[in-house]
Amino acid sequence: DAKTTQPNSMESNEEEPVHLPCNHSTISGTDYIHWYRQLPSQGPEYVIHGLTSNVNNRMASLAIAEDRKSSTLILHRATLRDAAVYYCILRVFYNQGGKLIFGQGTELSVKP
């Protein structure tokens, strides 16, 4: 399975945009890029995913580099509730097991 690399931690101010980077230089053409987040003492929560094109949903935006070797999760206006560990994960399209391989993630803290 292809690996991802994320910074261990990031800080943001409330109501400012946050850009969370992820490197995945060994990504294959059939790997989807997923982002999950885990709030303290809770299970992981799906945020967004994409394959090649940039994606938007109500929670966030996902910007994917043209060569797909990196991506950025964008939270447009951080709130205190967005403080969590964010995981960037590659999911193989054709693997029926569809397992999620979690790395260490990025711990995002949001200052009021």
Partner 1 sequence: NAGVTQTPKFQVLKTGQSMTLQCAQDMNHEYMSWYRQDPGMGLRLIHYSVGAGITDQGEVPNGYNVSRSTTEDFPLRLLSAAPSQTSVYFCASSWGGGGYNEQFFGPGTRLTVL
Closest CA to 102 of 84, 82, 88, 81: 88
Residues 51-80, interacting with partner 1 (CB under 8 A):
51
Contact 74, 86 (CB under 8 A): no
- Using CB under 8 A, count the residues that bind partner 1: 29
Distance of alpha carbon 2 from its chain centroid, rounded? Answer: 15
The two three-digit tokens of residue 80, written as one number: 């205190």
39 binds partner 1 (CB under 8 A): no
7 binds partner 1 (CB under 8 A): no
Binds partner 1 (CB under 8 A): choice among 17, 104, 109, 111: 104
CB of 30 to partner 1, least distance (A): 7
CB of 19 to partner 1, least distance (A): 21
Chain residues in the site for partner 1 (CB under 8 A):
30-32, 34, 36, 42-46, 49, 51, 87, 90-105
